[in-house]
Amino acid sequence: MKPILEAQNVTKHFPTGGGLFQKKGLVKAVDGVSLSITPGETFAIVGESGCGKSTLARVLMRLLDTTSGDVMFDGKQVTGAQGTALSALRRDVQFIFQDPFSSLNPRMSVGRLVGEPLEVHAPELTKGERRAKVSELLAQVGLRPEHADRYPHEFSGGQRQRIGIARALASGPRLIIGDEPVSALDVSVQAQVVNLLGDLGRDLGLTLILIAHDLAVIRHMSDRVAVMYLGKIVEQGTADDLFENPRHPYTRALLDAIPDLDDQGGASRARIEGEMPSPSAPPPGCAFHTRCPHATELCRTKVPAPEETPDGHMTACHHWQDIAVARRKTTPRSRSPATEARLELYAKATEGTQIIPVASKTPDREETK
């Protein structure tokens, strides 16, 4: 199938310093990423804080320009798109932000927040038609038509994220990028919003790019996963296969650092031995060599090229074949009790999250303040 989104050797470097007391530097936030996303799939990007996930997401939808490399959406250049091509991109690719508290203008009613993209992308609609469409969109995300007259502060975090999703759906997008769309929410609410996104993706045929720290969310929702380290994709594969049979030592370390179910907020982020080096001074050779238990002299000097494994992963590690043999002797950690418990939570939390026709709308489980 023709990819909906492609990135070819994309870099995004931020110049830093250069002031009176600061040395000039370059933060290599994204450093040679290539990927290809198929229509309708949910593609996840994971990795520790600061590895470049958000920068990559912003570059993919042209919220930031690339330093080099190409991004193509539906076969057309995203890099350098202007005028009608850029407007079409703004309609077709939408973003869901992490923080539902600051991403919605508090002075706009929900009706205006959700209706605004319609004014831009469907100017032919009459006022009445637009209001009907807003009601339909609110119902799709599990809210009621009368919520259109209220303001963001009157809603809970989960409901605000639903408003953000309705706003993202308003332009009729084909691709939605969610950057940590549930990490600011309570665990029980997270499960509902995660399932809502999954249902919408499936029922509307959307392509989703999902960034999340919670690997159980990723496991539950994604078809394919890319693992990032210091601006590069180090492993890529189907979610099932990558979780059951990780090839790259960094992916293994991430899976081994899966947090406990009750461990929320900052503490729930994956912890791996040692500090991630600064992207302004990445180590030579394999950037993971400073923390990798398998590192050899080769790793310290030569950047590993991406290789395809027999099970269809792409992995960038000089020694993946030797490490794969060692791995078979150990128990996979991806099925840890904590992951199982969270997956069970997602499996249970389906009520109130399906796409609901306006007429048969059932009450939302979360409370409106």
DSSP letters of 106-122?
TTS-HHHHHHHHHHHH-
Q: Check binding of 139 to ligand SF4 (CB under 6 A).
A: no
Sheet holding 207-211, edge to edge: 93-96, 175-179, 207-211, 42-46, 224-229, 232-238, 314-315, 307-308
- At closest approach, how far in Å is the CB of 63 from ligand ATP? 11
Q: Check binding of 54 to Mg ion (CB under 5 A).
A: yes
Q: Check binding of 319 to ligand SF4 (CB under 6 A).
A: yes
Calpha distance 209→179 (Å, rounded): 8
Q: Is the CB of 150 or the CB of 213 nearer to ligand ATP? A: 213
Calpha distance 223→207 (Å, rounded): 11
Rg from Cα positions in the chain: 21
**Hey, how many other C-beta atoms are within 10 angstroms of the C-beta on 172?**
13
CB burial string 260-272: b at 16+ within 10 A, e below: ebeeeeeebebeb
Name the residue among 324, 312, 229, 335 with its Cα closest to residue 272: 229
288 contacts which partner out of ligand ATP, Mg ion, ligand SF4, none, CB within 5 to 8 A by kind? ligand SF4
313 contacts which partner out of ligand ATP, ligand SF4, Mg ion, none, CB within 5 to 8 A by kind? none
With beta carbons less than 8 A apart as the criterion, state whether 254 and 242 touch. Answer: no
Q: Is the CB of 51 or the CB of 253 nearer to ligand ATP? A: 51
Binding positions for ligand SF4, 233-252, rule CB under 6 A:
248-249
- At closest approach, how far in Å is the CB of 270 from ligand ATP? 10
Per-position x/- string for 276-305, each x denoting binding to ligand SF4 as judged by CB under 6 A, each - no binding: ----------x-xx--x-xx---x----x-
Q: Check binding of 55 to Mg ion (CB under 5 A).
A: no
Q: Is the CB of 97 or the CB of 155 nearer to Mg ion? A: 97
Residue numbers of the site for ligand SF4 (CB under 6 A)? 248-249, 286, 288-289, 292, 294-295, 299, 304, 317-319
